[in-house]
Amino acid sequence: MPPLARRLAASLLRPRGGRALHTGPPSDPAVLACRLASRAVVRFAGPEAARFLHSLLTNDLLSAFAAGGASSPQRYAPTPNAPARGPAGPAYAALLTPQGRFLYDLFLYRTPPRSQMLDRTGSAPETGEKPAQEEGEPAEVLADVDAAEVDELVACFKRFGRNVVHTEPSTQEPEAQSIGWGQGIDHAGESAAQGNGHGWQWLKDPRLDYLGYRGIFPADTIPPLVESDKEADERHYQLWRIENGIAEGSTEIPKGEAIPLEYNLAALNAISFEKGCYIGQELIARTHHRGVIRKRLMPMKFVDEKGEELDQAVAPGSEVVNEASGKKIGTVNTALGSRGMGLLRLEEALKQGSFLCISDNKGVRVQPIKPDWWPAEWTQMVDQQSAVA
């Protein structure tokens, strides 16, 4: 069963630390676009499509889509890391098990009216209609999902609404591809992206501000602001996320096992604590209001005893232990080059003076990194304990 579209994501990366993530020699080395084959697009159609998704997923989609259709669009629930400006971006949400464990993550888009869609040449609007502002609930929702999970995801949703989920090619969006563009803040680029009133727009990534833009475009056109010499391999975008501790998809967020709050989905704007019931809500609400999360997904660096970075030295699934006591404090779930992400016990991972290593390879030391986008309260108790010590 083919998906509506292959996933194509591009990320415009402007590394803050100065180390360029690209391999080619683009004219502007601070800008990159990465095509991601790891994502696919599924279409939910029907008058109740938005309400159907709202009842199942972790986020308040009705408020999100209402904000997206308003005359002066704003973010419906801004994260503390992203200013409320620019056109309303896609909503980010997750489908959980009844026990509150992660299954799938989805970026959900209102479909644009035909007057805002490019024609087959990609150079003009598909119709001569004046772009109109749609309000209310959309009749179609496009979901950017993990490409490896499309068949299972569609089958899962069809158990709840057989006539709502569609994966066959759409006549209105032939060969549509979903595209993401992550970057540092670039107000000139942001202005240009918003200025295209007829074509499909770049939209702010709903998770973090410096992840930049995402969008959905026809497959046979070049998206605005993307040039051929600015494209790089998908691994650059993955590395950018890994270095910032942002997991995506059912491999990096283990399906059926991961607790969403431990994978930081609340701070990534994927969970509403004000909306009504959804699948798995009880565990999420209880854990949130208890206020104690002892393990979190953290980025990490793999080095030798001299502090030199080690490439391809660690495999996903490797255990992270305290070098002195041998006590397990977590597991690596994603590794790329000398970087990785893993679920670690915060008290041990952030404890001053402790050395961590890979359990079956003591020559590989692990350096956990606290992302600068984390809210201070996540590590406040650990910081206080370190100050007292």
| pLDDT tops 80 at residue 62 | yes
Q: What does the buried/exposed string (b/e) look like for 205-219 if buried means 16 or more CB atoms within 10 Å of the residue's CB?
A: bbbbbbbbbbbbbbe
CATH 2.40.30.110 residue spans of the chain: 293-387
Q: What digits encode the pLDDT tens for the residues 117-142?
A: 544 444 444 454 444 444 556 678 88
**CATH pick for 293-387 out of 1.10.10.60, 3.50.50.60, 3.30.420.40, 2.40.30.110:** 2.40.30.110
- For the whole model, what pTM was predicted? 0.79
Cα 265 from Cα 277, distance rounded (Å)? 17
Q: What digits encode the pLDDT tens for the residues 350-360?
A: 998 889 999 99
Cα 34 from Cα 26, distance rounded (Å)? 13
CA 46 to chain centre: 26
| pLDDT tops 70 at residue 278 | yes
Answer with the residue of higher pLDDT: 80 or 96: 96
Residue 87 makes CB contacts below 8 A (sequence gap 6+) with 68, 73, 194, 201, 203, 204
- Which uninterrupted H or E stretch holds 103? strand 102-110
- Average confidence (pLDDT) over 266-290: 93
Average pLDDT, whole number, for the chain? Answer: 74
- Average confidence (pLDDT) over 367-389: 79
Q: What digits encode the pLDDT tens for the residues 300-313?
A: 999 999 999 999 99
Q: What digits encode the pLDDT tens for the residues 165-200?
A: 655 543 333 344 544 444 433 444 444 444 333 345
* Sheet containing 203-204: order of strands: 176-181, 213-218, 203-204
* Pairing between β-strand 328-336 and β-strand 319-322 as defined by DSSP bridges: antiparallel
| pLDDT tops 70 at residue 146 | yes
Which CATH architecture is the domain 39-124+136-186+196-262 placed in? 2-Layer Sandwich (3.30)
CATH 3.30.70.1400 residue spans of the chain: 39-124+136-186+196-262
